[in-house]
Amino acid sequence: MTTAAAARTLPKPPFLNYQFGRAYDEMFERPGMPRRHYQALYRTLLESPPEELRKNQQAADLSFLHQGITFTVYGNGEGTERIFPNDLLPRIIPGREWRKVEAGLTQRITALNLFLKDIYHEGRILSARVVPRELVYSCRHFRREMCGLNVPRDAYVSVCGTDLVRLPDGSFAVLEDNLRVPSGVSYMLANRKVLKRVFPTLFRDYGVCSVDHYAQGLLSTLLSLAPANCPDPAEAAIVLLTPGVFNSAYFEHTFLAQQMGIELVEGRDLLVHDNVVYTRTTAGLRRVDIIYRRVDDDFVDSLCFRADSGLGVPGLFNAYRAGNVTLANAIGTGVADDKAIFAFVPAMISYYLGEEPILPNVKTYLLSETSDRAYVLDHLAELVVKAVGESGGYGMLIGPHSTTEQQEEFRCRILAEPRNYIAQPTLALSQAPCYLDGEVEARHVDLRPYILYGENITLVPGALTRVALRRGSLVVNSSQGGGSKDTWVLRE
Amino acid sequence: MLSRVAECLYWMSRYLERAEHTARLIDVDLQLGLDQSPLAGSERSRRLFEALQVPQRLIGRLDSVSITHTLTLNRANPSSIFCCVAAARDNLGHVRDQCSSKMWESLNCLYLQTHDVPQTESSVLQSHEFFQSVRDGGYLFQGITDSTMTHGEGWHYIQLGRFIERMESIAALVGAYFEGLSQPPDQTIDGAEYLEWVGLLKSCDAFEAYCKAYSAELRPQRVAEFLLLTREFPHSLRFSAEMIHTALRLAAKLTKRNAELPVRLSGRLRATLSLTPIAEIMAKGVQDYLNTVRKQCGQAHAAVNQIYFNYPVESLVAA
């Protein structure tokens, strides 16, 4: 090796603690050699005085705190407000990579909506034995009440957040779909706002696609879903239904309502009379046509679902059935993001669209299948086991990071209820540079783009990149010590 | 506007006005105490508690320091300054998307200030600064509200809350002073009583304004006339009635509601205050008059609640 080449590969500040593993590195092709689309950022980091970056990070944190971009952490008595940790360095995705993600996700949501329509009507895919019937009917999120019911434009899932990971070979794969009430999009927008302030020149020179039109895209998606009996579809009244101020995503609800210019309502602001939904306003009752609901299925209507729910509106489901109001997302979409059904999404794509899946799934073992189960029970120490109905990083066993007792506990749970669990290989999520305490270090990240499905399918060129801020951690959920960073999708 | 949102804005405003009023009264009381006013401490406390409508069961049991604590920092007393500020913030927090971010910031700051006062520190309760900061916080919030929020429907509910609360509390305060009055009301007050009546005016931020109108010579009848019937002074009952009536007229117009009842009731309240001569009030008794005013004010509040906030749904869906 020549001295010049050796000098190039020696880490320079602030990269002294930057470590490489078997995971794909978003920034470096190999140590000391940034990928083409990361070169400008790399140079900026080498050249910026350390105190400038530190000041920028402080300014960014303060800006989140002042805007009240916080979430509530429960546990130890009362809920406390914390800012959602934001990392200063953008995650950069070249345009050609993004185009493949976009095509793959468009294909995926199309198939998922066809699947939901099918299982709540004829069930062709079940008769054809492509997806096992018992898997669908045993799913906790399957809603019998939805059978035979038509939803506007067959849009069951109109807002979707799909989690992608990058495998060691650099290709993207789908880790899971969030088809019920996906959240986090406000952080995508807030991160962007802050980074534009922190790196204005870099941002301009990179040619980053804008994400600022997300709220407008969401609004027109919702508007295109007017219910069958809407008196005036062009002037349909839309509201955002929030569980209330104690929900951890309440900031996002107020933010989106404000950005779209629609009313933010709680269950107690709504009432149903003669199967029509109204808001109680100071000017009397006002008819509501479309509800963007951020309340889970179980809680939307105490007459139909959980009777102890005070968050929803009694009678709402009947109004929905009568075609007098649209709920977005529809009721019962959770069946399609059940982690066991997830394994069949590539099969759905082939069945409904006659296409090959553009984005592969992460390999998933179904513990209800005898052969899969035997394999998984033999390899608990290497795999990740997840409960099918859980989300937010709860109810998981991460094999390599677990104790023998934990593995035994999961073995018992799996044998007791095999349908309730799936297993996946422990993924080496790709790593990206993060600014931590004056140094740039590598941390594992995933990617959550948001897909809107109404009259058109819309993907804003951007996403929430979630970061596992603890060194070596693979869990990116905000409830488990995760943070986020801005995602720059380049025009070229 | 959602009824819930309107109601939150209304109560936010009432709670904040109450906190400000309580802080002003206690502050003035502390200063009177410093001047060693010869009026027995117990008599002044009686008047303060009556003006603040402190329940009798509290007064009997406690000494004056612990009563001040009850009125100021006690988290179990829903009328304490701390609880009023917390309730105001809580109400605004539920409708944060409806107010300007400056408004939230300023109310949040005031809350944090009162929250950080150590519970056990009784010296705080003897200091002018704490009460001054609550008063200033109130003024600041009002200024920010008026200059950063659209003067639309929501703003009118804020106005309504502020002035209904103000009317209630000033009527109670004036009543408490006249109850203990031993001299003819049209005679100059001097001697020991003088400072006490300056205290009344200061409790309404009215001493300087009164002096400009009548000079520093105090007569109960003039004080009453000033605090009850002055059209231009923001802490007078009549001014409050004008504001209440205006807010209700505009709210009815903006909601296009056939909301006759609140407008009619607030119109009558306004007439009571603008058409009755002071001589007549004195002749029939100030207490009677104040009771009438408070009753009419309460009726206006009830009508607002019934028409805008918590209306029976049956009446509307049947139509």
Asked if B4 lies within 8 A of A269 by C-beta distance, the reply is yes
Q: Is A315 left (phi over 0), alpha (psi -120 to 50) or beta?
A: left
- A79 CB near a chain B CB, below 8 Å? no
The pLDDT of residue A448: 96
Task: Say if residue A75's pLDDT is above 80.
Answer: no
Chain B residues with beta carbon closer than 8 angstroms to that of A66: 105
The sign of the CA dihedral A176, A180, A181, A186 is positive
The sign of the CA dihedral A307, A311, A315, A321 is negative
The percent of residues above 70 in pLDDT, for chain A, comes to 93
- Structure confidence by residue, pLDDT tens digits, A370-419: 899 999 999 999 999 988 876 666 778 888 888 999 999 989 989 998 88
Q: How far apart are the first and last CA of chain A?
A: 35
Chain A residues with beta carbon closer than 8 angstroms to that of B153: 282
The pLDDT of residue A77: 41
- A245 CB near a chain B CB, below 8 Å? yes
Residue segments in chain B with a per-residue pLDDT below the cut of 70: 36-41, 59-64, 119-125, 316-319
- Match 């009379």 to its residue by tokens: A273
The pLDDT of residue A80: 59
Chain A residues with beta carbon closer than 8 angstroms to that of B93: 245
Which residues, in sequence order, are CB contacts of B307 under 8 Å at separation 6+?
B257, B259, B261, B262
Chain B residues with beta carbon closer than 8 angstroms to that of A284: 255, 257, 311, 316
The pLDDT of residue B53: 87
- A68 CB near a chain B CB, below 8 Å? yes
> How far apart are the C-alpha atoms of B82 and B92, rounded to whole Å?
15
Nearest CA-CA distance, residue A286 and chain B, Å: 10
Domains of chain A, start order = 95-162+210-356+446-460 (3.40.50.11290), 365-425 (3.30.1490.270)
- Structure confidence by residue, pLDDT tens digits, B287-308: 999 999 999 999 999 999 999 9
- A279 CB near a chain B CB, below 8 Å? yes
Chain B residues with beta carbon closer than 8 angstroms to that of A268: 4
Which residues, in sequence order, are CB contacts of A237 under 8 Å at separation 6+?
A286, A287, A288, A289, A290
- Match 């070169």 to its residue by tokens: A39
Go through chain B and tell me how many residues it has. 319
Asked if B313 lies within 8 A of A273 by C-beta distance, the reply is yes
- β-bridge mates for residue A208, sequence order: A490
Chain A residues with beta carbon closer than 8 angstroms to that of B4: 266, 268-269, 280
- B319 CB near a chain A CB, below 8 Å? no
- β-bridge mates for residue A285, sequence order: A280
The pLDDT of residue A9: 63
User: For residue A94, which amino acid is it?
Assistant: P
- B314 CB near a chain A CB, below 8 Å? no
Side by side, the strands of the sheet bearing A290-293 are: A263-265, A238-241, A290-293, A326-328
Asked if B308 lies within 8 A of A265 by C-beta distance, the reply is no
B256 CB neighbour count, 10 Å cutoff? 9
pLDDT band at A78 (very low <50, low <70, confident <90, very high): very low
A vs B, Cβ pairs < 8 A, gives 55
Minimum-distance CB partner of A282 among B97, B104, B255: B255
Interface test with A, best of B3, B8, B9 (most A CBs within 10 A): B3
Interface test with B, best of A62, A282, A288 (most B CBs within 10 A): A282
Cα–Cα–Cα angle for B197, B201, B206, nearest 5°? 155
- Of residues A391 and A118, more confidently modeled: A118
> Considering the entire predicted model, what is its pTM?
0.86
CB A37 within 8 A of CB A94: yes
Nearest CA-CA distance, residue A484 and chain B, Å: 24
The pLDDT of residue B212: 93
Indicate the SS3 state at residue A346. helix
- Of residues B261 and A310, more confidently modeled: B261
Task: Say if residue A73's pLDDT is above 70.
Answer: no
Nearest CA-CA distance, residue A288 and chain B, Å: 13
Closest CA to A5 of A29, A41, A33, A46: A33
Calculate mean pLDDT across residues A297-324: 91
> How far apart are the C-alpha atoms of A172 and A169, rounded to whole Å?
9
- Match 């009446």 to its residue by tokens: B315
- β-bridge mates for residue A328, sequence order: A292
Which 8-state DSSP code applies to residue A388?
A: T
Closest CA to A350 of A133, A128, A99, A97: A128
The pLDDT of residue B250: 94
- Structure confidence by residue, pLDDT tens digits, A431-464: 999 998 888 999 999 999 999 999 999 999 999 9
Nearest CA-CA distance, residue B150 and chain A, Å: 15
Calculate mean pLDDT across residues A295-322: 91
Type and span of the H or E element at B220: helix B220-229
CB B54 within 8 A of CB B62: no
Q: How far is CA B235 from the centre of its chain?
A: 8
Closest CA to B115 of B80, B76, B73: B73
The pLDDT of residue A8: 58
Calculate mean pLDDT across residues A50-55: 86
Q: Is B256 left (phi over 0), alpha (psi -120 to 50) or beta?
A: left
Report residue A161: phi and psi, to 5°.
-125, 115
> How far apart are the C-alpha atoms of B16 and A109, rounded to whole Å?
50
> How far apart are the C-alpha atoms of A81 and B96, rounded to whole Å?
16
Asked if B2 lies within 8 A of A258 by C-beta distance, the reply is no
Closest CA to A486 of A255, A258, A190: A190
Task: Scan residues 392-431 of A and list those with Cβ closer than 8 Å to B.
Answer: none
The pLDDT of residue A1: 45
Residue of chain B whose Cα is closest to the Cα of A66: B105
Task: Say if residue A274's pLDDT is above 50.
Answer: yes
Minimum-distance CB partner of B317 among A257, A281, A285: A285
The pLDDT of residue A86: 87
The pLDDT of residue A482: 83
- B255 CB near a chain A CB, below 8 Å? yes
Side by side, the strands of the sheet bearing A421-425 are: A365-366, A421-425, A383-387, A396-398
